[in-house]
Structure 1
Amino acid sequence: MNRRQFAARSLAAVAGAALSSHYAATQSSSASVPGAIPESAIKAARFPDGFLWGVATASYQNEGAWNEDGKGESIWDRFTHTPGKVRGGVTGDVACDQYHLYPQDIALAKQLNVKSYRFSISWPRIQPTGVGAPNMKGIDHYSRFVDALLEAGIRPWCTMYHWDLPQALEDRGGWPNRDLANYFADYAGILAKHLGDRITVWAPFNMPWAIAFMGYAAGAFPPCRTSFSDFLKATHTLALAQGQAHRAVKAASGKATFGSAYEMAPAYPKTDTDGDRAAAARYHAMNNVFFLEAAMTGRYPNAFVGEPPLDVMGFKAGDEKILYAPLDWIGLHYYTRRVVSDASKEKFQSGGNFSGTEIESNSPGGRDPYTRFRAGMPTEGPLTDAGLEIWPRGIYDLVTKISHDYSLPIEITESGCSYLDSPDEHGRVPDTRRIQWYRDELAELSRAIAEGAKVRAFHAWTLLDNFQWAEGYTERYGLIYTDFRNQKRTIKDSGYWYGRVAASNRLDV
């Protein structure tokens, strides 16, 4: 396929991608608070038999033990050890100490009736420099971890990469270096060879767009580069790695099913103008389905103004065959929505502020010189303690669209909220706002399922309060409170509530 054919077919792939109505039309007319869900809908919500209730975690955010048992340095080790990078000057060196305390954490997950546990494996624990023979102490740790999950009756769900790249591979150029696709495939094959007899659910990446953009364009996450061309090269390497890992895992394990964990946010045009609707379509194509389309079709959707910048991305003849790796299921995160406007007629000027994975830039001419849209995070609804708008309707719109566009099962791979509730004088954590957040969102998810959306699992972010990336320990998303002074775990009221939901498939518990 030549480049012109590739671009033409990509244009067709993204047709109709934007959500159909102006964002204001999504408000619930019966609710007094914008975006809120009527109590009657919460009481009526039901989930099907066999629905999997789970939790999601990540290696660097939970494990600690940053330099034990032969583990190599990761880019997040380097980042957090650099003064001024993390709020409060903290690191993930210990975090929740889950490397040592995982038996009690899995027991707590079982107590909450969790049936699926999404965790990630630290690449530098398996290959300290990102290449070569596996470190068997790392393999043995995850083997014991998986065995403990299975003994608890919990499905092990493995993310192969949740941002902690071996620093040695960043020193070779990081994700903009196309060679990393093959290095990653070797790593994926090692995991499937040693763990594929017990793990059947595999995803290569957590939030691949964030890996590329936040690390190589925005400079907010390690390796803190600010090059839009590096960002585009990184997206292509990640998409190639997704395809290569798919083949490596399937070759090593006949039991394997393969999907991913994509960050997604429903994109509503700011106005009903053609320009804003087209901008929302570009947002959807780049942030929501860029890597999904690559796997399912071997082509990228047209997320760009003008011709796709394939030369900048490093696209080579035959790459569409490498990209093509049809998934068995789709994993997606939901936290909040975006309101998108067109910036294609403005002069682009690099800049803007980024803080965490959910914050957009508002630089002149759009977020970057290729997609040329401005994506805002509205504050019409109430906000969580992390400043994210509460908009439960978004998950309904998102999964309805993805289910319609792709005939695959969907798993909600992450969804949750940060509130800073702490133990009271009786040792209880009465986090009622988190319970209400989940009740509203899950009611909307139930509605989507009742109308035909093919959703089979929901993973709450997260089991434990943990290290929250550049925000350090200033945000708490857990169903369980972690006292980082002594590693004491306390199940929050939301955790007990979630356990009742998991046992009954209903929200009015």
Structure 2
Amino acid sequence: MTPPFPPGFVWGVATSAYQIEGAAGVDGRAPSIWDTFSHTPGAIADGCHGDIACDHYHRWPQDLDIVASLGVQAYRFSVSWPRVRPDGAGAWNAAGMDFYERLVDGALHRGVTPYLTLNHWDLPQALQDEGGWGARDTVHRFVEYAQHVNRRLGDRVRSITTHNEPWVMAVLGHQTGVFAPGLKNRALAMQVSHHLLLSHGLALQALRADGAQAELGIVLNLSPFHPATDSQADRDKARLEDGQLRRWYLDPIYHGKYPDDVLQALGPDAPLVQRGDMADIAQPIDFLGVNYYTRSVVSAAEPWDAKDAGHETTDMGWEIYPRGLTELLVNLGRDYPVKSLIVTENGGAFADQVVHGRVHDEDRARYLAQHVAAVSDAIAQGAPVTGYMVWSLLDNFEWAFGYGKRFGIVHVDYATQRRTLKDSALWFRDFLARQKAARP
């Protein structure tokens, strides 16, 4: 049995705007790069898009009621940039900001603390048309956006995250092209990664100059990297891939420099860094958000496959490896001067079905229990972990996979928008009740 967590440990659930809100053209919202990408033939596995998604824009009171019923303290959500500033610059959209005012106030009214993310990948298409994150001007538009949102909501949210998973935006969006905006240029991808980090640092400076009350940080998708064998080739490749995913983002934030081995590997594709950029990036952060789903096993010979290796996997084909979360959190606390680690996303996609009004997702409940125990183990080893959030509250638009992959602890029937708490949600609710009862 998992022991009680420390006093003040925060439990929550997480979502993102494009994945759940819908209302794509409602109340002045303009297209984002994900609207454009998801309407591109062949871009999404099931040919769908996020125009309606979970219709959270209209059903948010019901969804917040569900959040409150679970007994969590925190709700992590993202603001849709094109909903509050449709062109990414110029006029602000009052109706869009009013929606987030209602959402934040609604959460607080239910005893749930909002955790706000500014950028969960939905860049306004108007800015993409001007070069997107490849253009340095977008950095400054993001800082303006951050300041405006903070001035409207910052007094009522616990934290503000600048970016969610900048690696995904840079590499999957601009190098492999499987995510929006669907470009394939490694040099551009690396320049995008630099601009994302620079916008993070400049936004933190601007928010603090404005007297921001919320805790400020960034969320990274992270994994431990393990060589498939003890060969030198596998170990070298694992080291480099760790550099590309983990150290490329953490070293600038905490040490003010990019890792030399990755810069060398990039060669002419390394980003253009202007004088003062690295100092601007290396701003103190109040917390580091960690999104963890699985480890990475690296082979120099051929891709390693968890299923082929006989390991248990989720519906995404990702290995279920809770020990990797312990290892990751402990190593972060060892390698970097982190003040606070929050597991901002953790969960699994499974092939759920509604049977007689119930969803018996024992596999997901077991996944969550194993990873919660892994967080407990990390804390016992000294990792400064202060919170854990399940991904996701709702089944939703799972990016390039469409609606075929379900991560939610609440089932969504997309035809009727009916919500059904899965057994994993009931497990989480009961687990939190036991944690509360065990407090001195």
Scaled to the shorter chain, the TM-score interval is over 0.9
1:198 corresponds to 2:156:
yes
Letter of the aligned partner of 2:285 in structure 1? L
Verify: 1:448 aligned to 2:378, yes or no.
Answer: yes
Rounded Cα–Cα distance in structure 2 between residues aligned with 1:337 and 1:228: 24
Distance 1:506 1:126 in 2: 38
Quick check: 2:121–2:164 contact (8 Å CA) kept in 1?
Answer: yes
Alignment pair present for 1:231 and 2:189 = yes
Residues 219, 507 of structure 1: CA spacing in aligned structure 2 closer, same or farther, 3 A cutoff?
farther
* TM superposition shift of 1:182: 0.9
Aligned to 1:493: 423
Could you tell me the percent identity over the aligned residues?
A: 40
Tell me the secondary structure at the aligned position of residue 226 of structure 2. strand
Do the aligned residues in 2 keep the contact of 1:283 with 1:303 (CA within 8 Å)?
A: no
Show the 5 A alignment for 1:309-348: 309=267, 312-342=270-300
Query: In the alignment, what sits opposite 2:315?
Result: 385
The TM-score, its normalising length taken from structure 1, stands at 0.82
Within the candidate set 103, 113, 126, 2:84 is matched to 126
Residue-by-residue CA offset, 1:34-80 (whole Å, 9 max, x unaligned): xxxxxxxxx24432222211011000000000011111111111111
The equivalences for 1:273-284 within 5 A come to 273-284=231-242
The 1:386–1:273 alpha-carbon spacing in structure 2 relative to 1, beyond 3 Å, is closer
Residue 271 of structure 1: how far off its partner (Å)? 2.9
Query: 1: distance between equivalents of 2:331 and 2:33?
Result: 35
Q: Does 1:476 align with 2:434?
A: no
Distance 2:123 2:304 in 1: 29
1:24 corresponds to: none
Match for residue 108 of structure 1 among 62, 66, 89: 66
Query: What SS does the corresponding residue of 1:148 show, helix, strand or coil?
Result: helix
Kindly indicate whether the alpha-carbon contact (under 8 Å) linking 1:461 and 1:478 is maintained by their aligned counterparts in 2: yes
Alignment correspondent of 1:467 = 397
Q: Distance in 2 between matches of 1:65 and 1:289?
A: 38
Q: Are positions 1:412 and 2:370 aligned together? A: no
Partner of 1:247: 205
Partner residue in 1 for 2:264: 306
Task: Note if 1:177 corresponds to 2:135.
Answer: yes
Which letter maps to 1:163?
Answer: W
2:25 paired residue number: 67
Q: Does 1:423 align with 2:354?
A: yes
Alpha-carbon shift at residue 278 of structure 1 (Å):
3.4
Q: Is the CA contact 2:107–2:114 (under 8 Å) kept in the aligned structure 1?
A: yes
- Give the residue type in structure 2 aligned to 1:386: M
1:293 and 2:251 are equivalent in the alignment: yes
Shift of 1:378: 3.1
1:215-230 equivalences under 5 Å are: 215-230=173-188
Report if aligned partners of 1:279, 1:341 keep a CA contact under 8 Å in 2.
yes
Q: Give per-residue Cα distances to partners, 1:460-492, cap 9 Å, x unaligned.
A: 000011111111110111110101111110101
Q: Secondary structure at the match of 1:260?
A: strand
> Quick one: structure 1 residues 251 and 337, their matched pair in 2 at CA, closer, same or farther if it must change by over 3 Å?
same
Name the Cα RMSD after superposition: 2.0
Q: Could you tell me how far 1:433 is from its partner in structure 2?
A: 0.8
Are 1:192 and 1:253, in contact at CA under 8 Å, matched by a contact in 2?
no
Correspondence 1:11-22 to 2 at 5 A: none
2:145 maps to: 187
Give the aligned residue type for 1:378: A
- SS of 1:306's equivalent in the other structure is helix
Alpha-carbon distance in structure 1 between the residues aligned to 2:437 and 2:237: 36
Pairing of 1:67-106 with structure 2 (within 5 A): 67-106=25-64
Amino acid corresponding to residue 419 of structure 1 in structure 2? F
Report the equivalent of 2:362.
Answer: 432
Return 316-325 or 211-220, whichever deviates more. 316-325
Native 8 Å contact 1:299 1:323 kept in 2: no
Q: CA deviation at 1:129?
A: 0.8
The equivalent residue for 1:140 is 98
What secondary structure is seen at the aligned counterpart in 1 of 2:264? coil
Residues 172 and 44 of structure 1, relative CA distance in 2, 3 Å threshold: closer
Question: In structure 2, how many angstroms separate the alpha carbons of the residues matched to 1:57 and 1:254?
Answer: 23
Residue-by-residue CA offset, 1:91-118 (whole Å, 9 max, x unaligned): 1100000001111101101101111111
Q: State the distance in 2 between where 1:216 and 1:72 align.
A: 22
Output the amino acid matched with 2:374.
Answer: E
Please state how far the C-alpha of 1:169 moved relative to its aligned partner.
0.8
Residue-by-residue CA offset, 1:335-391 (whole Å, 9 max, x unaligned) = 011112458xxxxxxxxxxxxxxxxxx6xxxxxxxxxxxx74533421112211111
**Structure 2 equivalent of residue 35 of structure 1:** none
Deviations along 1:190-241, one digit per CA (max 9) or x if unpaired, are: 1111111112301111110010000110010111111111111111111111
Report whether the alignment pairs 1:54 with 2:23.
Answer: no
More displaced 10-residue stretch of structure 1: 314-323 or 181-190: 314-323
Match of 1:157 in 2: 115
Residues 337 and 315 of structure 1, relative CA distance in 2, 3 Å threshold: same
- The 1:266–1:259 alpha-carbon spacing in structure 2 relative to 1, beyond 3 Å, is same
Partners of 1:298 and 1:377 in 2: how far apart? 35
TM, length-normalised to structure 2: 0.94
SS at match of 2:245: helix
Q: Which residue of the partner structure matches residue 401 of structure 1? A: 331
Cα gap change, 1:195 to 1:309, in 2 (>3 Å): farther
Over 3 Å counting, the alpha-carbon distance change for 1:311 and 1:496 in structure 2 is closer
Shift of 1:506: 8.9
Residues 392-451 of structure 1 deviation map (CA, whole Å, 9 limit, x = unaligned): 1110110110111233210001010011222212x1111111111111222122111112
- Looking at secondary structure, tell me which structure has more helix per residue: 2
Give, in angstroms, the shift of residue 252 of structure 1. Answer: 2.4
- Answer yes or no: is the 8 Å Cα contact 1:45–1:507 preserved in 2: no
Report if the CA contact (8 A) 1:266-1:284 is conserved: yes
Q: CA 1:460–1:216 in structure 2 vs 1: closer, same or farther (change >3 Å)?
A: same
Gaps of 5+ in 2: none
**1:261-320 C-alpha deviation (Å, 9 max, x unpaired):** 100011012333444333323222221232222122221223526376487411122222
Q: Is the 8 A contact 2:306 2:317 kept in 1?
A: no
